[in-house]
Amino acid sequence: MIVSKHLINYQLSDTHHILINSLSGAVDVVEKDLADKLHNCERDPQVLFTQQELTVFQERGYLFDNTAEEKKAKDRIMQMIWKTMEEDEYINIALCPTLSCNFSCNYCFEKNVKKTDSFTLANIGHAFSCIAELKKIKNKKYVRIDLFGGEPLMPHMMPINEYIFKKSGSEEYKISILTNGYNIDTYLNLLNQNKSTVESIQVTLDGIADIHDRRRYTKNETGTFSKITDNVDRLLLNGFKVIIRTNIDFDNISKLEEYAEYIQKRWGNYTNLRCGIAPVTNYRGQNEKATVGKECDYVEPIFKSFDHCHALHKFNLGFFRILSHVVNIIENDEKENILPRYYFCQATGMEYYIISPDNNIYCCPEVIGVEKYSVGKLFPKLHLDEHKLASWRQRNILNIPECKDCLYGPLCGGGCSLQHFESSSANSCPNPQNTLFKYLEMRKDHIIKKYTV
């Protein structure tokens, strides 16, 4: 009898431990003596379990007869992941009508991008021909488009966006819009005319008015909070599915509770609203501000008020690559739907292509405008550089040597590929153990109550 290589055994209190199988997503809270049995079994295979303990621990994937049995279990889970990926009938396209923007956000990762590139009526049709060809090459049935930028809803891009919506509608492509929200009022008629094509509209707010306005301002440094919140009102009243994204760092996270209460008071009754918080990232070292932290740095500020501030529960953690998976396996009761994080993000694990007006195709939003990270060209005809593409797509927990046998690999998916490419060190591990343990420490009372009642 052997203990699984993927068993995390963490002490929550003097009397209880939490057991997590990082591969299968199994989670149990057990009394300390039982957890000690498992721990001792790692050193002494002759440790005796009752038949009931043995049955439960084997069913949960904590114990195996031998290493061959554990390998079979791992192979089954990996086959499920491959099957899920192969059965995905969508190709995911981020289409950037323009790289220009009307904001000067102080943490923007596109600061050094050439801002003049935009599609025109003369070439946007070719971009759609490339999308259709990608769909055929990748043998996908449907197309899902993220309208991205720059800022996709710039007023001068209205004719291009009219074409995009008309063409997407005729091809039955679905569109999600990622916008700063400032020009929604200008585009409202066009959006309403194409409501069946629009799946969701993501708008960014970074906090209450004074905080947002010092972070997300126009080129002439005027605040944007009032206009954006009015535009969110318009979208919700018109029945669009709205996602409010809030980018957090040390500059605004201390006011997260106050901001959550504002969101709840203003829009809490809308069923077509979702909210998510996302860490400001600095994978390319472009953001010199000292306010950018790692995922583990945000665990305590987020969860210290979680139990008494129910407005915080409205915020999804899906933009956190590690924390979202950790929270999901602990909080989600439908364990059979949770697979290990095989890859870090859509750049490495999905059929995801960014179509940019600078004639390049990219995998990652944070490299738009950086020629060396181009994985293909649009003109004069579609070309994919399969070698460059493979450098992204093949970075997963099975192919990265440091991640293959890592206990925490299935929680993080191997870390950010861009950070790895940019780093002078071979090891760009995001330290998922630190994030997990900080979360367990913050939520230990809740976890004991949830799993022992």
**HSE, side-chain direction, 13 A CA sphere, residue 38:** 31
Asked whether residue 427 is assigned to any structural domain, the reply reads: no
Task: Kindly state the tokens that stand for 382.
Answer: 């579609």
As averages over each run of 10 residues, the pLDDT of the chain (453 residues) reads 92 96 90 92 80 92 93 89 88 97 89 83 98 96 97 98 99 98 99 98 98 96 98 99 97 96 98 96 69 91 90 90 84 66 88 96 95 97 96 90 89 90 74 93 93 80
pLDDT value of residue 329: 81
- Tell me: do 74 and 94 sit in the same domain: no
- Tell me: do 378 and 229 sit in the same domain: yes
- Tell me: do 31 and 108 sit in the same domain: no
- Tell me: do 145 and 194 sit in the same domain: yes
Among residues 53, 69, 87, the one where a domain terminates is 87
- Tell me: do 65 and 191 sit in the same domain: no
Distances in whole angstroms, Cα of residue 220 to Cα of each of 102, 103, 223 = 9, 9, 9
Nearest residue to 435 via CA among 296, 281, 327: 296
Asked whether residue 449 is assigned to any structural domain, the reply reads: no
pLDDT value of residue 57: 93
Asked whether residue 398 is assigned to any structural domain, the reply reads: no
Asked whether residue 346 is assigned to any structural domain, the reply reads: no
- Tell me: do 72 and 123 sit in the same domain: no
158-174 burial by CB neighbour count: b if 16+ within 10 A, else e? eebbebbbebbbeeebb
Residue 41 neighbours by CB under 8 Å, 6+ apart: 1, 2, 3, 47, 49, 63
**Number of domains, the chain:** 2
- Tell me: do 227 and 301 sit in the same domain: yes
Q: What is the CATH number of the domain that holds 118?
A: 3.20.20.70
Asked whether residue 399 is assigned to any structural domain, the reply reads: no
pLDDT value of residue 12: 97
- Tell me: do 216 and 82 sit in the same domain: no
387: left (phi over 0), alpha (psi -120 to 50) or beta: alpha
| Alpha carbon distance 152, 145 (integer Å) | 12
pLDDT value of residue 386: 94
pLDDT value of residue 148: 97
Asked whether residue 153 is assigned to any structural domain, the reply reads: yes
- Tell me: do 52 and 105 sit in the same domain: no
- Tell me: do 56 and 157 sit in the same domain: no
pLDDT value of residue 189: 99
Among residues 87, 113, 129, the one where a domain terminates is 87
Asked whether residue 442 is assigned to any structural domain, the reply reads: no
Among residues 70, 87, 104, the one where a domain terminates is 87
Asked whether residue 387 is assigned to any structural domain, the reply reads: yes
- Tell me: do 285 and 361 sit in the same domain: yes
391-404 burial by CB neighbour count: b if 16+ within 10 A, else e? bbbebbbeebeebe
pLDDT value of residue 85: 84
Domain hosting 254: range is: 89-334+351-393
Kindly report the backbone phi and psi dihedral angles of residue 118, in degrees, each rounded to the nearest multiple of 5, phi listed first: -150, 150
- Tell me: do 67 and 138 sit in the same domain: no
